[in-house]
Structure 1
Amino acid sequence: MSGPRGKLLLVEDDAALAELLVWHFSRENFDVWQTGDGEEALLLAQESPPDIVLLDWMIEGLSGLEVCRRLRRMPATQNVPIIMLTARGEEEDRVRGLETGADDYVTKPFSPRELVARVGAVLRRVRPALAGQQLTYADLELDAVAHKVRRAGTPIPLGPTEFRLLRHFMEHPGRVFSRERLLDSVWGHDADIELRTVDVHIRRLRQAINAEGRPDIIRTVRSAGYALDAGGKL
């Protein structure tokens, strides 16, 4: 890919985690700026507005929540997407973050690769030109423009519906989708299709991407639906 995928501001005061995330996002061709200080983050964002902010809730000094609140008040950053990183799993805390202006949240511990995918999904939603059309998850690669899929470098032939299903999963890694939600997102609002049709296409997708004895990375969640989840299998 020519040129960076976008400028990312990482606000994280855990030095080891920050170094790991800087490495992963730099490898994915992001221009990464990093600080562990909330006040400095606001200055950096004002001087040169980023395309996306990864913001830890529990930074020293000025809290991540307050940084998020102030970013939303600054004209230069009021529309910049913000993903909060938090060890707080309680729903009330997540709601507070979203109400303050965050676009998404990721609960620690998380996989850096999943976080890269989540950032790509947010950028595609708000600024499609920045995000590119290359999706990666675990050893899967999907090129939305060329309509090609590879796993561990090997081309995987997929039908159009299976391709759309996989793309949807790769844009929301780890998230569980019900059959109804998948029908709505992949087939469209007006699709007159039975729910079991989803199961058929999931089975076809599994057969294609799990060929040659590869680990199954589509998780079936009983009474809930399906998720793209490597779960440490690779």
Structure 2
Amino acid sequence: MRVLVVEDDNELGPALTSGLRAAGFAVDHATSRAEADLKVWVNTYDCVIADRGLPDGDVLELLRTWRENGYTVPVLVLTARGAVEDRVAGFAHGADDYLGKPFALAELVARVRALGRREQHPRLPQLTVADLTLDVPTHRVRRSGVLLTLTAKEFAVLEALMLRAGEAMSRTELLERCWDEMSEPASNVVDVVIRHLRRKLGPPDLIESLRGVGYRLNGPA
């Protein structure tokens, strides 16, 4: 999942970004409504986490504009305002979830994963290609029933390929889906992860290299 964190606090913003990356998400960070607005129309996100009080205004006004213009990606609003009327206002402006400060990172991660499974990017609890199964909620992968140990990035790339099984995915698509703005597009990070995945998945090889295009996940011939 690729997530946008909109938080202007000099400590909380970087801490959230770091914590979510450690949980396996690709994360971009914005510190104002204007910056967030630019990023959501340039990049593709699975979820937006936004602090309500930003230097250039209430994020709810920006959220209402997004919804009016057809931006349907789930948005979780963070705020120190915990009154019922504040939560009601958040939902009325188009928020999908509302989390009061202070909060536990583990709860935020769980809520973001739940939002990512909603209608914008529907996901099956379990993906299956040939004898390979990927369980989305538990982050477990099995080949012929044998549990495999994958890194968060390997899991993300494999999930992307399995969601598009039988279709070609370019390196650029995989970068946009599984990495964030801190990644170097010209680097060989996708090829490195694919190489590690092939080694861990074992034979027969399910990942096909498409010269000049990218990769495709197939069932064995």
Are positions 1:91 and 2:84 aligned together? yes
Tell me the percent identity.
Answer: 38
- Residue aligning to 1:67: 62
**Cα deviations by residue, 1:145-188 (Å, 9 ceiling, x for unpaired):** 77xxxxxxxxxxxxxxxxxxxxxxxxxxxxxxxxxxxxxxxxxx
User: How far off is 1:74 after superposition?
Assistant: 2.8
- Residue aligning to 2:97: 104
- Residue aligning to 1:38: 33
Higher RCO by CA contacts (8 Å cutoff, separation 6 or greater): 2
- Residue aligning to 1:13: 8
**Alignment-mate amino acid for residue 102 of structure 1:** A
Gaps of 5+ in 2: 126-133, 143-221
User: How far off is 1:59 after superposition?
Assistant: 1.0
User: How far off is 1:130 after superposition?
Assistant: 9.0
Partners in 1 of 2:104 and 2:115 — Cα distance?
A: 17
1:129 to 98, 116, 123: 123
Partners in 2 of 1:114 and 1:133 — Cα distance?
A: 20
User: How far off is 1:49 after superposition?
Assistant: 3.2
User: How far off is 1:144 after superposition?
Assistant: 7.3
Mapping of residues 153-164 of structure 1, within 5 Å:
none
Are positions 1:24 and 2:19 aligned together? yes
* Counterpart secondary structure, 2:38: helix
**Cα deviations by residue, 1:103-134 (Å, 9 ceiling, x for unpaired):** 01000000111101110011123334399745
Contact 2:124/2:136, CA 8 A, preserved across alignment? no
Partners in 2 of 1:72 and 1:145 — Cα distance?
A: 36
Sort the Cα spacing of 1:29 and 1:144 in 2 relative to 1 into closer, same or farther, 3 A.
Answer: closer
User: How far off is 1:98 after superposition?
Assistant: 0.2
Sort the Cα spacing of 1:20 and 1:44 in 2 relative to 1 into closer, same or farther, 3 A.
Answer: same
**Alignment-mate amino acid for residue 32 of structure 1:** V
CA RMSD after TM alignment: 2.4
TM-score using structure 1 length: 0.52
Sort the Cα spacing of 1:18 and 1:133 in 2 relative to 1 into closer, same or farther, 3 A.
Answer: farther
Give the structure with the larger helix fraction.
Answer: 1
User: How far off is 1:101 after superposition?
Assistant: 0.2
User: How far off is 1:62 after superposition?
Assistant: 2.7
- Residue aligning to 1:80: 73
**Alignment-mate amino acid for residue 90 of structure 2:** G
Give the structure with the larger strand fraction.
Answer: 2
Mapping of residues 72-221 of structure 1, within 5 Å:
72-75=67-70, 78-126=71-119, 127-129=121-123, 133-135=135-137, 142=138
User: How far off is 1:82 after superposition?
Assistant: 0.4
State how many pairs are aligned: 134
